[in-house]
Structure 1
Amino acid sequence: MPISGGQSRKTTSTWRNRLKREWLLGLFAVIALILAAIDPQPMARYQQWLQWPTLCGLLGLLIAIQGIRDSGLVQHVAGALVARVHTLRGVGLLLVSMTAVLSTVLTNDVSLFLVVPLTVAIAGMSNLPALRMAILEALAVNAGSTLSPIGNPQNLLIWQHAQVPFLHFVGAMAPTTVVMFVLVAALTWCWLPRDRVQLQAERLDGHRISAWLATLSLAGLAVMVLMMEYGRAPLGALLLVLAFAFFSTRSLARIDWFLMATFAAIFLGLGHFAALPAIGRLLDGIAFDRPWALYLSGIASSQLISNVPATVLLLDRAPNAMALAVAVNVGGFGVAIGSLANLIALRLAKQPGAMRLFHQVSIPFLLICAPLVYLVTRLLA
């Protein structure tokens, strides 16, 4: 059947509106193309910057979480949770604490994939503000993951480079984590309304659970986390794609492929930018042996190229690897690309005006957190 002119215009308009919302993808795609034109590199460098294992890990997590959502399990858990906590501030502190604790053992992105969909489900059946909570959880995951060597990619890189014992790393990062989390908890208490939780009964009921899809998705999530832990993320993603293609094509079709493309463009653009000779010459003029210079450099570079590329860029130049860990973890606050976990949280929340409100909160948070962390760590040094 031929497509009518009205249908064609509607489809074109839908795609145009979607592309407008994907401005971050467009921005970094343009940056990657410009850098490729003015500074062409061998294909092996682009493959290195693309971070294929990380993209595969993200795909596997997206598939598993979409399956959990479609199974109705998240809505069921959300209903049980809000039925037992009676104030918005209580729910908020519980979710923020859960996010921070999970991020110390399951990494920052995995904890967000677990908690943010739960938060959105709670907001859908109550008066909990979903966007505020997603922003608070993005801040909380940066705070919690700071504590552990396996909490986030930058910590893992620094831990492997510095070759320090696990508990030594935790002890060195504990003061920073405490300052961060206290600030996040205080913001949660002040920013959320004092109101009691108001349940919408018609949304609380009627969420049927698909036991087989919930089982498949939870098993897939566990498999994906293990595969990522042992460096087999591409194999894990392939297994999940095959399993869902056979058992739940609907969940597979609803994956956020634009998010995958956005991360690929960010990896290519930021990776190439960090490798430019001009950036290397600029860094050669910085006295990294001065604590304040290393601290500010870690934060500033995280704001420009995200904290994982910043860690790669500065690791061989930093005389104190643990001081660099403090700096790049603090640098996860501020602009959204400071930590890619911020982008994941905002994307999972799917709320209008998310980026604007995030920056209105996160940039002042960085300006308060950065000097406090520096003072505390220097006093305890």
Structure 2
Amino acid sequence: MLLNLVRPFARDRFLHLLLLVGLALSFVAPFQPKRWVHAIDWHTIITLAGLMMLTKGVELSGYFDVLGRRMVKRFDNERTLAMFLVSAAALLSTFLTNDVALFIIVPLTITLKKLCAIPISRLIIFEALAVNAGSLLTPIGNPQNILLWGRSGLSFGEFTWQMAPLALALTASLLVLCWFCFPNKKLIYQTHDKRHEWQPRLVLSCVALYVVFIVSLELKQEVWGLALVAVGFLLLAHRVLLSIDWSLLLVFMVMFIDVYLITQLPVLQHALAGINQLSNGGLFALGIGLSQFISNVPSTILLLNYIPASALLAFAVNIGGFGLLPGSLANLIALRMANDRRIWIRFHYYSLPMLLWAAVVGYGLLVLLKQL
């Protein structure tokens, strides 16, 4: 049992790389270990932990298998199934946030692999891109928008209207790409598999615990909410807690510390001192470029100290979620759940061209909006 919990940490090469990066940075950035714990966004860690438990509970209940069978029977070809899942990921991310949307869509997608021959890794890549495109629409779609919305002084509707052109353009572009990347190939349902039994009691318990957890997040009592979810699974199905990839949480904690160390580098702080002298194009490129290396949420936090929460900054950091893997934490969540080593390279075959296209479209829209 203990070995099963430790094994993911020992095999996680990405975690090992982040630890080495942090070690190297600690020699060139101010060494202040006491501040590292404050560099971690504990709200994000707690939220992820709760969602991981709840999603794994539904997965082990067998309900995703039942839902997957119904979906395969409803969609008769690969293209329509892919278009539906990508559209669902984009739509869910607009009001459930990008991370929550992935915790719903990706496990369901993985279940489909048992039922028919479909390119699971490619589907998960498109779902990761879809939540980046869909979540930028609303103030609550992702963490960076929450920050920008709070600083902008705009209403919910005004912020959404500001982001709508970019969200619609990128979502439409992604669906067109999806149409060409998934063939009109008939799905072959594997009827030889025996009928899968599922556990309604466990599913209903997960739904109840989900409500409790969401309410606790709203009341700013996330620690108590996480504790209730954990105790619930200890009593109902302790195997859920043993089946979770807990190393993912450590990956996020180390990432937050690494990003903090990067932002403390004297060379970076000196470079940002003259940020006000940059043109709009320079600020736009900076927001995108910075997001590629320290992720778009830390980039937003950092840049808000120098420039206002304008449409330019909102466009830049949201577009920065595409491209390299660190651009958005949602990318990491999706690819980790895929459990496929080759997906890490394949992701960039689609995400890098999408970044270039999004940058062109986004800057063009900013210029157009400025002229209106």
Shorter-chain TM-score tier: over 0.9
Q: Do structure 1's residue 302 and structure 2's residue 291 form an aligned pair? A: yes
Q: Do structure 1's residue 260 and structure 2's residue 239 form an aligned pair? A: no
> Which of the residues 103, 106, 111 maps onto 2:101?
111
Q: Report deviation, 1:271.
A: 1.9
Q: Do structure 1's residue 74 and structure 2's residue 71 form an aligned pair? A: no
CA distance in 1, matches of 2:224, 2:25: 31
Q: Report deviation, 1:278.
A: 2.4
More displaced stretch, 223-232 vs 186-195 = 223-232
Asked whether the 8 Å contact 2:25–2:262 carries over to 1, the reply is yes
CA distance in 1, matches of 2:277, 2:58: 46
Number of residue pairs matched? 366
Asked whether the 8 Å contact 2:9–2:247 carries over to 1, the reply is no
What 5-or-longer segments of structure 2 have no aligned partner? none
State the one-letter code of the partner of 2:266.
P
- The 5-angstrom pairing of residues 1-381 of structure 1 reads 21-38=11-28, 39-41=30-32, 43=34, 45-203=35-193, 205-287=194-276, 290-381=279-370
CA distance in 1, matches of 2:277, 2:301: 15
Deviating above 6 A after TM superposition, structure 1's stretches of 4 or more consecutive aligned residues are: none
State the one-letter code of the partner of 1:131.
S
Q: Report deviation, 1:37.
A: 4.4
CA distance in 1, matches of 2:20, 2:222: 28
- Percent identical pairs in the alignment equals 37
Asked whether the 8 Å contact 1:49–1:272 carries over to 2, the reply is no
SS across alignment from 1:202: coil
CA distance in 2, matches of 1:292, 1:322: 13
Q: Report deviation, 1:320.
A: 4.7
More displaced stretch, 333-342 vs 48-57 = 48-57
Closer/same/farther in 2, CA of residues 350 and 229 from structure 1, 3 Å limit: farther
More displaced stretch, 123-132 vs 27-36 = 27-36
State the one-letter code of the partner of 2:229.
L
Asked whether the 8 Å contact 1:183–1:369 carries over to 2, the reply is no
State the one-letter code of the partner of 1:85.
F
CA distance in 2, matches of 1:305, 1:288: 22
Asked whether the 8 Å contact 1:158–1:322 carries over to 2, the reply is no
State the one-letter code of the partner of 2:360.
P
Closer/same/farther in 2, CA of residues 179 and 20 from structure 1, 3 Å limit: farther
Closer/same/farther in 2, CA of residues 135 and 20 from structure 1, 3 Å limit: farther
Asked whether the 8 Å contact 2:148–2:309 carries over to 1, the reply is no
Residues 268-319 of structure 1 deviation map (CA, whole Å, 9 limit, x = unaligned): 1112212333212111223466221111011000001000000001012123
SS across alignment from 1:266: helix
Asked whether the 8 Å contact 2:94–2:136 carries over to 1, the reply is yes
Residues 223-245 of structure 1 deviation map (CA, whole Å, 9 limit, x = unaligned): 33333344332222111111111
TM superposition score normalised by structure 1: 0.91
State the one-letter code of the partner of 1:278.
V
SS across alignment from 1:83: helix
Closer/same/farther in 2, CA of residues 192 and 245 from structure 1, 3 Å limit: same
CA distance in 1, matches of 2:126, 2:209: 27
CA distance in 1, matches of 2:88, 2:215: 21
SS across alignment from 2:113: helix
Asked whether the 8 Å contact 1:54–1:233 carries over to 2, the reply is no
Residues 91-134 of structure 1 deviation map (CA, whole Å, 9 limit, x = unaligned): 11111111111111111000000011111111221122110010
What corresponds to 1:5 in structure 2?
Answer: none
CA distance in 1, matches of 2:25, 2:259: 10
CA distance in 1, matches of 2:277, 2:97: 28
Closer/same/farther in 2, CA of residues 360 and 20 from structure 1, 3 Å limit: farther
Closer/same/farther in 2, CA of residues 82 and 229 from structure 1, 3 Å limit: farther
Q: Report deviation, 1:68.
A: 0.2
Q: Report deviation, 1:368.
A: 1.9
CA distance in 2, matches of 1:295, 1:239: 43
TM superposition score normalised by structure 2: 0.93
Asked whether the 8 Å contact 2:276–2:307 carries over to 1, the reply is no
Asked whether the 8 Å contact 2:113–2:120 carries over to 1, the reply is yes
What 5-or-longer segments of structure 1 have no aligned partner? 1-10
More displaced stretch, 164-173 vs 188-197 = 188-197
CA distance in 2, matches of 1:95, 1:359: 20
Q: Report deviation, 1:355.
A: 0.2
CA distance in 2, matches of 1:33, 1:169: 40
Asked whether the 8 Å contact 2:72–2:115 carries over to 1, the reply is no
SS across alignment from 1:297: helix
Closer/same/farther in 2, CA of residues 339 and 86 from structure 1, 3 Å limit: same
Asked whether the 8 Å contact 2:138–2:160 carries over to 1, the reply is yes
